[in-house]
Amino acid sequence: MTEMILVIGANGQIGTELVTALRAKHGESQVVASDLHPPRNADSNGPFEQASVTDATAVRAIFEKYKPTQVYLLAAILSAVGEQKPKLAWDLNMNGLLNVLDLAVEFKVAKVFWPSSIAVFGPNSPKQNTPQYCVMDPNSVYGFSKLAGERWCEYYFEKYGLDVRSIRYPGLIGWKAAPGGGTTDYAVHIFHEALAKGEYQSFLSADTELPMMHMDDAIRATIGLMEAPAEKLSIRSSYNLAGVSFTPEQLSGEIKKHIFGFKLTYSDNDPRQAIADSWPKSIDDSQAQKDWGWKAEFDLPKLVEDMLLNLRKIK
């Protein structure tokens, strides 16, 4: 069976790299990229459709034109931006998902991927090795929109038989595209500033430990989950996924091994600190390991080395 894959939110931090990986695997003409804005890479090949995921009529036209067999819905307003525009974040994150789920049922799409996040956890969730199932009381609009989205995904699986698959991404670190306004963005910005200025001011405190992941691992996990046999999957809300946990101070220490004299300072009273304080410090992803053989490849030294190596090439 020839796949026709639609990626909505294709210009973002994940979408940019996912589209490239999927086109390499399935062929450029078989992967349709879609985003609210025109493609950032003028040299990119393959079909592109400009549309807002909240515009059900526009998204329907894309489904009618391409008849996708798989859909990856990545469009979202992330945690930090969501606190500035809470109702817009809820509208995009919720109604965009419902538009796609309804169309996927109607057009008999074989598989849908939708990303959740560690933001679904909250102040009363266990902080260390946060389990798949536990208290979930998110206190950010992004977090509770993702938690609601998880429930919708499982509901559509149970009620309509729609094969929806999801991962609770940790903070993602990549060099090919800019981050999109999340609480973990410092862990990308720090590399750019280290190379450009030799110093960086973190908006999170020195000892704020958060789960992170190299983008290569995230893309591999996403495609791995989508290729796993349906009967192997025991979770239809969203899978916990772990990479490597670290603090700004630990990340700085690793960067200093490559950039002599790098200096890290800290800002006070940034609103993103409160969001980070409500999130897990580390994640238990044993269910993903058991169900579809997930295993991260990047530890902190390898992640730092790879980021600096590739950013030096393009700067």
Rounded to whole angstroms, how far apart are CA atoms 105 and 111?
A: 10
- How far is the C-alpha of 16 from the C-alpha of 239, rounded, in Å? 22
User: Is the four-CA dihedral 121, 183, 267, 260 of positive or negative sign?
Assistant: positive
Q: What is the largest CA-CA distance in the chain?
A: 58
Amino acid in the structure at residue 245: S
Backbone angles phi, psi at 111, to 5 degrees: -145, 145
**Catalytic annotation present for 200:** no
Scanning the structure block, which residue is given the tokens 């499982």?
154
Q: Which residues contact 39 (CB under 8 A, 6 or more apart)?
A: 10, 11, 33, 48
Strand, coil or helix: 188: helix
What's the Cα-to-Cα distance from 48 to each of 10, 96, 113, 199, 206, rounded to whole Å? 9, 18, 19, 39, 42
280 burial (CB, 10 Å; 0-12 / 13-18 / 19+) is buried
Of the residues 72, 142, 169, 186, only one is catalytic, namely 142
* Rounded-to-integer distance, Cα 52 and Cα 34, Å: 9
Give Cα 200 distance to the centre of its chain: 24
DSSP-derived 3-state class of residue 108? coil
Residues belonging to the active site: 142
